[in-house]
Amino acid sequence: MAPLFEIRNLHVSVEDTPILRGVDLVVGEGEIHALMGPNGSGKSTLANTLLGNADYTVTDGEILFKGEDVTAWPTDVRAKAGMFLAFQYPEEIPGVPVIQFLKQALGARKGITDMSVLETRMAIMDWMRRLEMDPSFGDRYLNEGFSGGEKKRNEILQMAMLEPDIAILDETDSGLDIDALRIVAKGVREVRSARPELGVLIITHYQRILAELRPDRVHVLIDGRVVDSGGPELAERLEAEGYDAWR
């Protein structure tokens, strides 16, 4: 049986400059993996490539989802198939309420063309409660005026509602204080308790969110390559020693 998600020998360039130089990574069903690396290691390039950003050119290798090569798939097709990316910097969309955005996204993901705003509202109320979000949140314009913690909780709400098979969290802990971080981590745990088969890839600088989520595997990305992999203790070693030992 094919793994849930696999990256094979992935090489990626941006404006003819090589950034990723042969990344290999496998995430199984129900597993949490963490990818850690310093600034400039290629973490954001990997996240954008997995999203299907056209500015990032795959020059070699493959991205496989449930055994199918999705390397050339556009972003919307990946999302409909069950891939989810939580952005490091979620975009503001003035004039589009959260609930309307979720209605459209949910319709595209589930193939539902006639879901009403009322049905969407009923569907998200329970998740808002579980994620400690005010019910009025659904009527606010998407990410407009949101705090960092609110933006990240909104990403987790989307993940809960869309029920993906693989979730890629791109520096979800970036810019959060310890209380907001714990709320976001609790949200990820809530989603995984509802869908234990969900695979998660966390891309991060820091060990602190990993202390909350305890990954099955930790990978170190340096200069566009995965140079080491191990258990949660590897993240603790990185926190204590930094990245110099792997450069």
pLDDT number for residue 224: 96
Instruction: Give the pLDDT confidence of 65-110 residue by residue, as tens digits.
Output: 999 999 999 998 999 999 998 876 677 678 888 888 888 888 788 7
Instruction: Give the pLDDT confidence of 126-136 residue by residue, as tens digits.
Output: 888 888 888 88
Helix axes 148-162, 178-194, angle to 10 degrees: 0
Location of structure tokens 């959060």: 176
Tell me what percent of the residues of the chain surpass a pLDDT of 70. 97
**How far is the CA of 85 from the CAs of 17, 46, 61, 140, 172, in angstroms?**
24, 11, 20, 22, 10
**Domain extent for 157:** 5-246
> Could you tell me which residue, 1 or 162, shows the higher pLDDT?
162
0.75 surpassed by pTM: yes
- For residue 99, give every residue at least 6 positions away whose Cβ sits within 8 Å of its Cβ, in sequence order, or none: 117, 120, 121, 124, 138, 139
Give CA–CA dist 158/102, Å, rounded: 7
CATH of the domain at 102: 3.40.50.300
| Confidence label for 10 from pLDDT (cuts 50, 70 and 90) | very high
Give CA–CA dist 50/99, Å, rounded: 26
Give CA–CA dist 120/239, Å, rounded: 42
| Confidence label for 152 from pLDDT (cuts 50, 70 and 90) | confident
**Burial of residue 176 (number of CB atoms within 10 Å: 0-12, 13-18, 19+):** buried
DSSP 160-180: HHH--SEEEEESTTTT--HHH
pLDDT number for residue 161: 87
Instruction: Give the pLDDT confidence of 23-67 residue by residue, as tens digits.
Output: 999 999 999 999 999 988 999 899 999 989 999 999 999 999 999
Number of domains in the chain: 1
